[in-house]
Amino acid sequence: MKIAFVGKGGSGKTTLASLFTAYLAGGGKPVLAIDADINQHLAVALGASEEEAIAWPTLGDNMGLIKEYLRGDNPRIADAASMIKTTPPGRGSRLVRPFEDNPIFQACFREFGGVRLGVTGQFDEDDLGVACYHSKVGAAELLLNHMIDDAGEYVVMDMTAGADAFASGLFTRFDVTFLVCEPTVRSVGVYRQYADYARDFGVRLVVVGNKVTEDEDIEFLREEVGDALLGWMENSRHVRAAERGRARPIGELEAHNLTTLDSMLATVDGEQRDWARYQRQGVEFHLRNARAWGSGRAGEDLTAQVDPEFVLGPALAAQDA
């Protein structure tokens, strides 16, 4: 299962992503997490020190390695330089499984607290004024396009805030998207915007309330988002301790908040991916990007990278094993 966390900036999106990730790991479930937010705080939220987080290798800095490895010997891709963030896999491409050993995971991911964690990387001075943050997030999108995850495996991504995720096809790569929503008009506005954008793409969008302090907060969320509301997180001493650098075991989280995490996991486990649609949507967004800017930048027709007879899925992983 691939799971995304989105929401208005400051809604607690990263906090909830870290709690859910820790909850999975605490239950002995294999979990790979990717911090794809421009504000890279997931490692610290999971209990890493600031020094450890700063030293973490980044996907963005290893884009060349990622492209070269995933390209494999796909005859439709002339070289790694011609790959863009949406390039879909085809026959000859290298596919990855989230818990295998390969050069990408060795270079870009580290184990922490039972979690395999990767980060896209922050803006630095060389990026300011000349680069888009999606140039870094694109490394994560390319990786997910080539990833086969199987039953009982969890891939969690902390996304950029607001509706910025719709700047690429990345929003279609997930089985469940949890939108973290405060009981405020602005936060509900982000939900409505996200829901409008996602509606035509079959995105499974689920709302989790956050920073709930009283019954009126719950009533407000129910009135505004209706059946999309799965549950809510109440104010938490556990979270405040983590924010002070004193991380506690996930089992010490307040009972109601643990119940919400239980409901979230049940929702995720209840989904079943349509691999054909997954591949089809990946191809659709690649064609959009190729025609809009990719082919012009590459100096070649990148729509030719699409292999019409290829469909990603677990059967390919079995063949490769």
Low-confidence ranges of the chain (pLDDT < 70): 122-135, 245, 317-321
pLDDT of residue 135: 61
Predicted TM-score (pTM) of the model is: 0.93
148: left (phi over 0), alpha (psi -120 to 50) or beta: beta
- What is the domain partition of the chain in residue ranges? 2-6+19-150+183-212+219-313
Which pLDDT tens digit goes with each residue over 92-105?
999 999 999 999 99
pLDDT of residue 320: 57
Which pLDDT tens digit goes with each residue over 30-74?
999 999 988 889 999 999 999 999 999 999 999 999 999 999 999
Cβ atoms within 10 Å of 285's Cβ, excluding its own: 21
CATH assignment of 2-6+19-150+183-212+219-313, among 2.60.40, 1.25.40, 1.10.3470, 3.40.50 = 3.40.50
The structure tokens listed for 305 are: 């990278």
pLDDT of residue 269: 97
Residue type, 157: M
Task: Work out the widest C-alpha separation in the chain, in whole angstroms.
Answer: 59
Distance from C-alpha of 2 to C-alpha of 7, rounded to nearest angstrom: 17
The structure tokens listed for 72 are: 């494999």
Distance from C-alpha of 263 to C-alpha of 259, rounded to nearest angstrom: 6
Which pLDDT tens digit goes with each residue over 126-158?
443 434 445 678 999 999 999 999 889 999 999
